[in-house]
Amino acid sequence: MKSRYLAPLAVHCIRREHLVDKAQAGGNADLMTNTQNTPLALIEDPDLGITLSDGCRLSARIWRPKNSDKAPVPVILEYLPYRKRDGTTARDALTHPWFAERGYACVRVDMRGSGDSQGVMEDEYTPLEQADCIEVINWLAAQPWCTGRVGMMGISWGGFNGLQVAAQGPEPLKAVITLCSTVDRFADDIHYKGGCLLNENLGWGATMWAYSSRAPDPALRTDWREMWLERLEAEPFLPSLWLRHQTRDAYWKQGSVIEDYSTIKAKVLAVGGWGDAYKNAVPQLVEALPGAKGIVGPWVHKYPHFAIPEPRIGFLQEALRWWDRWLKNIDTGVEDDPDYRAYLMDGMRPAAWVLERPGRWITEAEGATSHLPVETLHLSGDGLGPVPGPLNALVASPAHCGADAGEYCAIWLGPEMPGDQRHDDALSVTFDTGPLAQDMSIVGAPRLTLRLSCDTPQGQIAVRLNHVHPDGASTRITYGVLNLCHRDSAEDPKSMTPDTPEKITFDLDHIAYRVPKGHKLRVAISTAYWPLIWPSPAPASLTLEAGQITLPQRPTTGGDEYKFQPPTAAAPWKTETLRAENHIRRQETDMTTGNVTLVIEDDFGMVRDSDHGLISGGIARERWTINPDDPLSATGICHWTEELERDGTKLRTETHSKMWSDATNFHLTARLEAYQDGALIYARDLEDSIKRHFM
C-alpha cells in the first residue's frame, strides 16, 4: 500500500489565512518567546557546499539572519534524501525562514547521493549516513556565523536520523525535535510489524527506487549528467536488501535507539499524530528519556502547523520555545510543560477522510500512559465483558480480509484513513460489549492476551479494536498484527506446533479515543489483513480458547487541559501549476477469477518553481491483487514516473517493480529507465528470489 515519508510537490489544503495568527493565544500566551519581535532580515543561499572528509560535496540550502556574521546564532539542521530543490520545498518554505527570522541559521541538507549532493546512496539509516551528519554538525558549529550550538529537526526520515545521530553524541548537538519517527526499526517502521511483512516494504522501496534515481538540477551542477549516470548505476533496489533481514537482527538494531536510550544526551521533543503510522514512539520516548516531552495530535504524517485533520497547533511557536531554551539558554518554561500532551479524539463515524476531529487536549504531568489504570474485558462466547466465560471460536478469514484498513501511513491528504469496518468485521470473529453505561476514554496501548492453537506451523493474527455505533457502523480505534512465529521472539522465531494451545500476548498501537455512552466496543480478530501485510504461505485456522484485552483508562472532565497557540508559518512556496494533481483509489473484483485488486494512482501534478524555474512532477501507480481463497496469489506491482525540466532539457525516469511469492520464496523484479529529451540513455533490470524465513 502506498504511504510515503516524503512530502508531495505542494502542500495541499493549506490556505495562507489558515496559517497566520488570527487570535490571541490561549492560556500559554505568556510563554511566547521572540515571536513578537520584528522578524530579522535574512540571507539565503540555495547551494551552500559542505565538503566531507572523503571529498564528497553535500549541497545545503541555508536561511540565516544578515547580522549573524557579527552576531552568531545557533543552527537548526534538517538532513534528508528528499531533494530540497523540488521535493520538500513546500514545507521548507513554511518552516525554515520562520525560525531564521527569529534568530537561527536554518540548514536543509541533501544527504549523500540525493538531490544536488554528490555521491551515491546505499540504504537508509546507515552508519555512513550518520557519520556524514556528524561531520556536517561539526562543520556548521565551526562557522563564524554559528554560536557552536546545533539542533536537529525532522519528520519521518529526518525524525529517525535526528534520534540516531543524537545517540552518537556529537558535542554541538544540544536538542532534537523528532516528528513521526520510531525507536525500533524492526518493530515499528515500514518493513515489519509484529513480525509480519508489511506491503510498504515493497511500496516504499519502489518509491525510493524512483525518487533517488533522479538527476540533480542542471542549473547547479555543470557535471549533473555524470552525477546522474553514476546515481543510476549505483541505485540499490532496497526491497531485495530488506527481505534478507526477516528477523530483528543486527541490521535492524543498528539505528534503533531503543537498544540504549542512555546514549541520547540531547534534549528531545517528540511529536506524532493518531492518523500516522508512527503512533508509539512519542510515549516511548517520554517514558525513556529524562526531560523529554511529547505531543500527539489527530494528524496524519505532516508537520502540525499545516496538518490534517485539524485542529492544527502553533507548532513553530512550540518548537521555538524548545530551541530558545536548549540552544540559547533562555528560560521559556519548557521544563514545566506536561511531559505528555495528547489529543483525545471524540468517537466519530467511520470516514476514509476527514478535515477535522472533535476532541480535547489532555495532559500527563509526568510520564505518558504506563501509569494509567486499566480495565480488563474478557472474550467469551457471550461477547466482550468484565467476567470470564467459556470460549471456543474458530478464526479462518479469507485472504482479502483487511480491505478497509486504509493506508499504513496516511500522508497524501486523500481517502487514506480506515473506512467502515463492517465488511472486514464480517470476515472476522468479533466480540462486542453491550452498550456502555458511561463514556470510556482509552488512552494508551491496549494489550491483548489469547490462548489459541493454529492448525499450521505458520500463521498470522490481526486484531482491531472498533467503536460500534447504534446503527452498526464500525470505526477502527486501533489495531495490531502478529506473526505467530514471532510470538516469543522477533530475533529467534519458531514454528507453531499445530493444534497445540499456547498463550500469546501483544500490544495494539497507542491511541487516545473516547467512546460515548450507549455505544459498543468490538474486538475483531482475523487471520489475514491484506493489503496491509503479506499473507502467510498457506491458509491457517485459529481456535480461540480464552482471551482478554486490557484497556488503559483516562477519565476526563470538561474541555482542553492545555491551550496551544494558533498555527502560523512563513510565506508559502510560489509555483505555477502546469498539471493539476489527481488521486485515485479504487477496489476491483474480477468476477471470473474472483481476484480482488486495490488500485492506487497518485498523479502529483507538475509545477514550475516561480523563483528558479525548475519544472518537476511525478506519478505513482500501484496494484495489489489477491484471490480470497489463495494467499499465494498475492501480487504487488508499482510503477513510478518522475519528471524534471530545465531550460528546455527534459529528464525522466520510469521505474517498475513487482513482488509475488510461492510457499518457500519471495520473488522480485525491477526495472529502471532514464530518458533525456525523450531518448533512453540508461536501463537496468533486476531479478531476485529470497527464501521465506518464518514469514
Which contiguous run of DSSP H or E holds residue 551?
strand 542-552
pLDDT tier at 555, thresholds 50, 70, 90:
confident
**Alpha-carbon distances of 694 from 195, 396, 463, 631, 661, rounded to whole Å:** 9, 19, 20, 15, 14
What pLDDT shows up at residue 56?
Answer: 98
CA angle, 547 then 548 then 552, to 5°: 160
Distance CA 668, CA 657 (A): 7
DSSP 486: G
- Are 643 and 652 contacting, i.e. CB atoms less than 8 angstroms apart? yes
Distance CA 601, CA 2 (A): 10
- Are 554 and 359 contacting, i.e. CB atoms less than 8 angstroms apart? no
What pLDDT shows up at residue 558?
Answer: 83
pLDDT tier at 556, thresholds 50, 70, 90:
confident
What dotted CATH number matches 37-185+254-344? 3.40.50.1820
Q: What values do phi and psi take at 394, rounded to 5?
A: -100, 125
* Mean pLDDT computed over 611-640: 98
pLDDT tier at 319, thresholds 50, 70, 90:
very high
* Mean pLDDT computed over 397-414: 91
3-state secondary structure of 523: strand
What is the tens place of the pLDDT at every residue in 234-268? 999 999 999 999 999 999 999 999 999 999 999 99
% of the chain with per-residue pLDDT over 70: 95
What pLDDT shows up at residue 62?
Answer: 98
What dotted CATH number matches 374-552? 2.60.120.260
The count of residues in the chain is 695
Residue 10: pLDDT over 50: no
DSSP 499: T
Distance CA 512, CA 295 (A): 12
Is residue 390 packed enough to be buried (19+ CB in 10 Å), middle (13-18) or exposed (0-12)? exposed
Residue 52: pLDDT over 90: yes
**Grid cell digits, residue 322:** 524548545
What pLDDT shows up at residue 37?
Answer: 66
Closest CA to 1 of 193, 198, 156: 198
CA angle, 450 then 454 then 456, to 5°: 155
- Are 456 and 538 contacting, i.e. CB atoms less than 8 angstroms apart? yes
Bridge partner list, 579: 606
**Grid cell digits, residue 172:** 554541538
Reduce the secondary structure of 97-116 to three states and give it as a string.
HHHHCCCCEEEEEECCCCCC
What pLDDT shows up at residue 411?
Answer: 85
3-state secondary structure of 413: coil
Is residue 340 packed enough to be buried (19+ CB in 10 Å), middle (13-18) or exposed (0-12)? buried
What pLDDT shows up at residue 5?
Answer: 38
What is the tens place of the pLDDT at every residue in 12-40? 333 222 332 222 222 333 333 344 468 99
What pLDDT shows up at residue 557?
Answer: 73
What pLDDT shows up at residue 477?
Answer: 98
What pLDDT shows up at residue 398?
Answer: 98
Q: How many helices (H) and strands (E) does the chain have?
A: 11, 32
What pLDDT shows up at residue 22?
Answer: 26
- Are 407 and 198 contacting, i.e. CB atoms less than 8 angstroms apart? no
Distance CA 601, CA 511 (A): 30
Buried b (16+ CB within 10 A) or exposed e, 214-227: bbbbbbbbeebbeb
Which contiguous run of DSSP H or E holds residue 383?
strand 383-385
* Mean pLDDT computed over 449-469: 98
What pLDDT shows up at residue 412?
Answer: 74
Share the mean pLDDT of the chain.
94
What is the tens place of the pLDDT at every residue in 112-127? 999 999 999 999 999 9
Distance CA 565, CA 77 (A): 24
pLDDT tier at 1, thresholds 50, 70, 90:
very low
The model carries a pTM of 0.94
Reduce the secondary structure of 35-88 to three states and give it as a string.
CCCCCCCEEEEEEEEEECCCCCEEEEEEEEEHHHHCCCEEEEEEEECCCCCCCC
Q: Give the residue with greater pLDDT, 414 vs 258.
A: 258
* Mean pLDDT computed over 589-614: 96
Closest CA to 155 of 258, 261, 270: 270
